[in-house]
Amino acid sequence: MEGPLEKIYNLPVAILLAVGFSLSAFLFYSMLKYAENGNLVIVILLAVAISIIAFVVAQAIKFQRYKDL
Protein backbone atom coordinates (compact mmCIF):
# COMPACT_ATOMS: atom_id res chain seq x y z
CA MET A 1 0.00 0.00 0.00
CA GLU A 2 1.36 3.36 -0.97
CA GLY A 3 0.02 6.76 -0.14
CA PRO A 4 -0.04 9.51 2.43
CA LEU A 5 -1.65 7.32 5.10
CA GLU A 6 0.87 4.47 4.86
CA LYS A 7 2.72 5.53 8.03
CA ILE A 8 -0.54 5.76 9.96
CA TYR A 9 -1.65 2.33 8.76
CA ASN A 10 1.61 0.75 9.93
CA LEU A 11 1.51 2.09 13.51
CA PRO A 12 0.80 -0.39 16.32
CA VAL A 13 -2.87 -0.62 17.22
CA ALA A 14 -2.40 0.56 20.82
CA ILE A 15 -0.61 3.74 19.75
CA LEU A 16 -3.15 4.34 16.99
CA LEU A 17 -6.04 4.01 19.42
CA ALA A 18 -4.39 6.27 21.99
CA VAL A 19 -3.68 9.00 19.45
CA GLY A 20 -7.16 8.72 17.93
CA PHE A 21 -8.80 8.84 21.34
CA SER A 22 -6.82 11.86 22.48
CA LEU A 23 -7.47 13.78 19.25
CA SER A 24 -11.17 12.95 19.37
CA ALA A 25 -11.41 13.97 23.02
CA PHE A 26 -9.73 17.31 22.32
CA LEU A 27 -11.96 17.98 19.32
CA PHE A 28 -15.08 16.99 21.27
CA TYR A 29 -14.08 19.33 24.11
CA SER A 30 -13.54 22.13 21.61
CA MET A 31 -16.87 21.36 19.99
CA LEU A 32 -18.66 21.73 23.31
CA LYS A 33 -16.92 25.05 23.98
CA TYR A 34 -17.99 26.42 20.59
CA ALA A 35 -21.52 25.07 21.12
CA GLU A 36 -21.79 27.08 24.34
CA ASN A 37 -20.79 30.18 22.37
CA GLY A 38 -23.41 29.41 19.71
CA ASN A 39 -21.05 28.98 16.75
CA LEU A 40 -22.92 26.38 14.69
CA VAL A 41 -20.55 26.29 11.71
CA ILE A 42 -17.50 25.42 13.82
CA VAL A 43 -19.50 22.79 15.73
CA ILE A 44 -20.46 21.09 12.48
CA LEU A 45 -16.88 21.25 11.17
CA LEU A 46 -15.52 19.76 14.41
CA ALA A 47 -18.09 16.95 14.25
CA VAL A 48 -16.94 16.17 10.71
CA ALA A 49 -13.30 16.20 11.88
CA ILE A 50 -14.12 13.72 14.66
CA SER A 51 -15.84 11.47 12.11
CA ILE A 52 -12.81 11.60 9.80
CA ILE A 53 -10.46 10.63 12.64
CA ALA A 54 -12.73 7.73 13.62
CA PHE A 55 -12.87 6.58 10.00
CA VAL A 56 -9.08 6.68 9.56
CA VAL A 57 -8.49 4.78 12.81
CA ALA A 58 -11.04 2.13 11.83
CA GLN A 59 -9.52 1.73 8.37
CA ALA A 60 -6.02 1.42 9.84
CA ILE A 61 -7.13 -1.27 12.28
CA LYS A 62 -8.92 -3.12 9.48
CA PHE A 63 -5.81 -2.89 7.28
CA GLN A 64 -3.58 -4.27 10.03
CA ARG A 65 -5.99 -7.11 10.73
CA TYR A 66 -6.10 -8.18 7.07
CA LYS A 67 -2.36 -7.68 6.65
CA ASP A 68 -1.76 -10.50 9.13
CA LEU A 69 -3.83 -12.98 7.09
Mean pLDDT of residues grouped by 10 in the chain (69 residues)? Answer: 72 90 96 96 96 93 80
Q: How far apart are CA 3 and CA 45, in angstroms?
A: 25
Global pTM reads 0.82
- For 3-66, where are the E strands, in sequence order? none
pLDDT of residue 3: 72
pLDDT of residue 6: 78
What is residue 58's DSSP assignment? H
pLDDT of residue 53: 95
pLDDT of residue 64: 83
